[in-house]
Structure 1
Amino acid sequence: MTGIRWGYALNQWDTNIDAFVRKRDHERAFKTISISGFSGVELTAVSFGPWEPFGSPEEIARLYGSLDGLRAFLADCALEAVSSYVYDPFVGFDVEMGRGPDPLDPDSREPIAATALWFADAVHRLGGDSLVVRPVGSAWQTGELSDQQIGTLARLWNEVGRRVAEHDVKLALHVDFLSALRLGDGIDRLLAATDPAFVGLALDTAELAIAGIDPVELFQRHADRVRHIQLKNARDTVDDAEAVNPHAEQFVRTEGGERRIERWFFEPTDEGGLIDFEAFARAVAESDYSGWIVVESDQSPRPAESAMVSGWYVQKVLRPIVEGRT
């Protein structure tokens, strides 16, 4: 298997808006990711201004001088690239910590596309190739999506995908475990309505598993549309009834719901996890997938340890399977 690069998500270090703002902290995280066997790092788009130095190209420029300055810093830490940016349109960048446009509003097409281009340009210049986007809001906000809503989303993401492709960046739709796309056959319907040349899928193993969707089966069914992979584990599931709780992002995801789940996401090596990662790796090996595989553990209390354990598992178990050496 060729054309696969392995990255690690920075989000487990960056847990509070004022906790990860110094270059020395960045250097430690980047070097830990590098010595753990990863060649790239995934960043998340947020609008906390200077409290989030990787939240936008503008903030990167303030701290590192330019995107080229950050890429040189990454190289000094033995990392090749920023693999990808994760962008949620509901995050507003016009006002710090503001709310952004709703993908279901047809008038949101231009502002979403403009922001997406901002991040696509950054990804390209930082050596990566993927813009991972949250395509729609949560299930409690919309219920099962209508055909009209699917059409609105398809027109938006087709246009965004066409524009970011001009920067040699792939658009990948990310389905989180509270997404409206978890209801019914929302994922299949949106993929069918979008242009495969410009719109792909970001397959997140843990988010899907928590939503009760088998990530191995989904990958096998839509392998030709997968443009980006995120690997993390999960122990618990959330059914549709729990997902439609009002303000589920706060009540379920942040506070753990009525069960008070303290942590939703774990390392791929977690013994209590729901996901068969070796089966997933075999499915990838049997496909034509080419792109980044990013490992996450975004609620880890010990981020360096999680990165190193995950790196060992990738190098000794998953990578040999993906590359057809076992």
Structure 2
Amino acid sequence: MTGIRWAYAINQWKPQFDDFVRREQHERALKTISIAGFEGVELTAGTGRWEPLGNPQQLAANFGSVAGLRDLLQDCAVDAVSSWFWDPQERSMEHLTGPLSPLVEADVPVIVARAEWFAEALAELGGSVLLVRPVPGAGDTDPLDDAGLSRLAQCWEAVGAATARHGIRTALHVDFLSALRRGDALDRLLQLTDPDLVGLVVDTGELTVAGLDPVAVIEKHPGRVVHVQFKDALAVDDAEEYLAPHAHWTVRVRGGQREVPRWFAEPGADGGLVDFPAVTRALVDTGYSGWVVVESDQSPHPAASVLLAGYLVQRELRPMVERERAPDA
């Protein structure tokens, strides 16, 4: 795949576990994504009967087969599932397993097998990248020392080798609660891993909330960026509340001590902190080739968020890419 292709993350349609479970709801969302100008859709892993788009087993149960979902995508004028986000630290009802940790040696073979399960289905759906949450939140694990980083590197290199057998890249998704946010942990992990096996996701919203400049990250690691997510940030965790235990619930969901009503929004939202033209220019300048997945992360108005993001992409960002990559006249 060459150039930049645009996709949309479908996760914002599911604010509660029992929402967005019917085929007609999926069809409406996919058609909205298509008409907004996006070629692909990104899925989020999940488990159980309330997650019909959550994993290969549920796809087969709800669409007849993995290929059955691809048929629906084509009927809705969506070319592919661009990518799948998977957090191995979430339990799996399909496999009757609890959280798996890349820091626990005994869990690594299971993580590798599970990643290959996703990669095989993703390849059938026309995708190219398996996004993984590489480590628990900073408040739920000890600071990463050399031994811990080495264990992480071994785990994700093994996963990268397994997904590569299906033509799928493995990419580390660093959220604003991640233990890799501490110090230079991310840089050190990237140094310990093979670039051909382990890539990096640039999530503009998560990095900005973490106090990191996504443009600087792209320019620092141009050869490692294999996937990009565009979402806006509405606040910055400058009080380092990510270090609190169980910060997913107390900070990300409930807003932390400031009671932030919403950390993220669609690109270009009022009050947004991310400079998307600058990020797009950095991707072009560094020769990025791959998917850019736009998302809103639990939007209260999913269809409106898709259309607003699509307007920004069609009117400003896509023309910028085409103009800056066009040969000189």
| TM-score, structure 2 as length reference | 0.96
Superposition map of 1:303-318 within 5 A: 303-318=302-317
Q: Could you tell me whether the CA contact under 8 Å between 2:101 and 2:108 is conserved in 1? A: no
- Backbone CA RMSD of aligned residues: 1.6
Residues 237/98 of structure 1: CA separation in 2 closer, same or farther (3 Å cut) = farther
The whole-number CA distance in structure 2 between the counterparts of 1:324 and 1:97 is 51
The whole-number CA distance in structure 1 between the counterparts of 2:187 and 2:248 is 23
Q: Could you tell me whether the CA contact under 8 Å between 1:86 and 1:133 is conserved in 2? A: yes
In the alignment, structure 1 residue 37 sits paired with structure 2 residue 66:
no
Provide the residue aligned with 2:104 in structure 1: 105
The whole-number CA distance in structure 2 between the counterparts of 1:50 and 1:97 is 14
Provide the residue aligned with 1:51 in structure 2: 50
In the alignment, structure 1 residue 9 sits paired with structure 2 residue 9:
yes
1:300 counterpart SS class: coil
Residues 96/171 of structure 1: CA separation in 2 closer, same or farther (3 Å cut) = closer
Q: Could you tell me whether the CA contact under 8 Å between 2:57 and 2:94 is conserved in 1? A: no
Superimposed CA distance per residue, residues 100-125 of structure 1 (whole angstroms, 9 cap, x where no aligned partner): 21111111110000110011111100
1:107 counterpart SS class: helix
Aligned length: 325
- Whichever residue aligns with residue 158 of structure 1, its letter is E
Provide the residue aligned with 1:266 in structure 2: 265
- Compute the displacement of 1:262 (Å): 1.2
1:6 counterpart SS class: strand
Superimposed CA distance per residue, residues 160-203 of structure 1 (whole angstroms, 9 cap, x where no aligned partner): 00110010001100000000000001110110000001000011
Superimposed CA distance per residue, residues 124-181 of structure 1 (whole angstroms, 9 cap, x where no aligned partner): 0000100000000011122431011000000000010011001000110000000000
2:262 counterpart SS class: coil
The whole-number CA distance in structure 1 between the counterparts of 2:199 and 2:114 is 18
- Compute the displacement of 1:324 (Å): 3.0
Question: Structure 2 regions of 5+ residues with no counterpart?
Answer: none
Superimposed CA distance per residue, residues 60-109 of structure 1 (whole angstroms, 9 cap, x where no aligned partner): 10110001111001000000000000000101214689632111111111
- Compute the displacement of 1:227 (Å): 0.6
Superposition map of 1:2-151 within 5 A: 2-47=2-47, 49-94=48-93, 99-151=98-150
Superimposed CA distance per residue, residues 184-235 of structure 1 (whole angstroms, 9 cap, x where no aligned partner): 0111011000000100001100000001111110011101100100000012
- Whichever residue aligns with residue 16 of structure 1, its letter is Q
Structure 1: 4+ residue segments shifted above 4 A: 94-98
Superimposed CA distance per residue, residues 219-275 of structure 1 (whole angstroms, 9 cap, x where no aligned partner): 111011001000000121113631111211111011111111111111111131111
Question: Structure 1 regions of 5+ residues with no counterpart?
Answer: none
Identity %: 51
Provide the residue aligned with 1:227 in structure 2: 226
1:73 counterpart SS class: helix
- Whichever residue aligns with residue 221 of structure 1, its letter is K
